[in-house]
A and B are shown apart, each in its own frame.
Chain A
């Protein structure tokens, strides 16, 4: 229907129905547009809908100190520290879910028991007020970009006890892990839901302490050089482990520690806690990414629970102590039989970490803007 553009002359009668006719003719014309009526490259920025539906950005610039002396590293899937457990969000409940907070109101700042989780949430780092509904056809989702700036990772205790106990073993080697967790309201439909936290383990990142594999074993006083293949700790007194070497000891110890460090040795008293390392992740989350994850009842999210809405997100942290006693000869000295690091569930000492900045960026995309086949960004 053509639009009547006849000019309205001064003095012409223009009634309500005339106005309706004009507006509706424009409406009909637009509604009747066919594909061929639209020229290529004709739809500009003014008429194209935005591809972003919502976003949330949380930057926390405050010190978060994590301490861990008892919670045990849950281990890698199938290669956990004790080699017996599968303790990830994908695993059944009776295998100790590492991520599990059923309480709808509680934040994952604390865990409700060692058996449940070794992961700690960082207070204040949650994105609030999210309402990210995930359609079951994966036609929409959200991008998460996160980062944790780990400034320091160190042991808290005086080292002598550990050194005396394990001086002939592999050097201690600490890891700090991070992982994204989301709080999901889920159910068969929106009328009957429950809320659980789930972790996306593909976002797991870690940083290591600044130490070295080669170690130097001294018997007190100034250390002796290690021979080829020898392992052990240089027995440097604790001093100020917050610095680069002991300060409260005599010059001999300072020299000794400095020398050891220069030769690549690991010295407890010299181990700098300042690591200045970042754990960054970027991932896209859609409906299928939550399928198969278990929640408190021991049940897994299936297609039947097609209603899923993400309400919050946060970053979780977990320590691991790495050592290699298993791989050393019985004597405790000699060449290790496995040169890789071995994450252990044993926590010999209290580890501490300091994270100064935590950042979470979440961008929700409009439905229909994602390819439902082919490229699928993970």
Chain B
């Protein structure tokens, strides 16, 4: 293993700069100080007679990964949620689509997930609701999904990325269990597109710095959901986290616009924000609101 530089000082008393450069002088290209030992050894330092196989390297130094997954139906009834989509605390974690991973080096965290939404149906006549836009306006919503990433800082989970890649949705349908009531003539009027499966395969890169053996950083990435009006069912899902050592610079660009307009094309149907149904819903929501806030769980990992 060749360290190319021969340490040689100018005659006289070595200056502090000379001494420091000998030990630590990181720079582009060829490294000429002992700093080269701090993860900067490259192929140029490798003597042809020296063979370093993966056996010499401790596991999980270059990269490692974790994954959680779950199949099976899980229905999120609207009563589990409050009315507001402004408050991200009201979004619920989806078990099986959440993973927690320790990070002990400067790394790229590559999160990758798949999740399938099966049903987003309202069981009342004539109600179709707005779907979320990227930044989730506070309008009434059917079932929708988003990504959340948290980090454990001094024993407290803090969100470090909320909805970074925009929300996804399952288009709504309706299925009135009381068709024929109220003068509606056709059952087809009240059974509209109740099953419209959708699948979301997503990815996101998070750049983590400052982690070390002595200061392990824990991250939790999870898909969260919200459903204000319908019955929202989720089927298969998984979340993967790949950690790859990365000593480079931050190079992430995110463009976030103002909340998208939701007017073209516009869904139609009874206005859920008016009338008796609205008042009933709000009354029910107000009773559940506090409970929801305190029963929220964090990253329910299910590893199969």
Contact = CB atoms under 8 A, between A and B. Distances in A.
Contact of A359 (B2, B165, B248): B165
Contact of A48 (B5, B51, B61, B185): B61
B138 interface: no
Given A19-B9, A33-B1, A356-B260, A52 B203 contact: no
A58 B255 CA distance: 8
- Secondary structure at chain B's binding surface: helix, strand, loop or mixed? loop
29 contacts: A16-B12, A20-B8, A23-B22, A38-B56, A41-B58, A42-B56, A45-B58, A45-B213, A48-B39, A48-B57, A55-B246, A55-B248, A58-B253, A58-B254, A59-B256, A62-B134, A242-B264, A243-B265, A243-B268, A244-B269, A259-B186, A259-B189, A262-B189, A272-B171, A272-B193, A276-B170, A276-B171, A280-B202, A356-B260
A294 B220 CA distance: 45
**Residue of B38, B205, B247 most packed against chain A (CB within 10 A):** B205
B198 interface: yes
Given A45-B58, A50-B247, A210-B196, A255 B13 contact: no
Residue among A53, A128, A359, A368 having the largest count of chain B Cβ atoms under 10 Å: A359
A70 interface: no
Chain A binding surface, main DSSP class: mixed
Contact of A52 (B37, B213, B245, B264): B245
Interface residues of A, number: 80
Interface in B1-31: 1-3, 5-9, 11-14, 19, 22
A61 B58 contact: no
A283 to B, nearest CB: 12
B261 interface: yes
B11 A16 contact: yes
Contact of B7 (A27, A242, A361): A27
Interface of B: 1-3, 5-9, 11-14, 19, 22, 34, 37-43, 47, 49-52, 55-63, 104-106, 108, 110, 112, 128, 131, 133-135, 164-166, 168-171, 185-189, 191-193, 196, 198-205, 207, 213, 244-248, 251-257, 260-261, 264-269
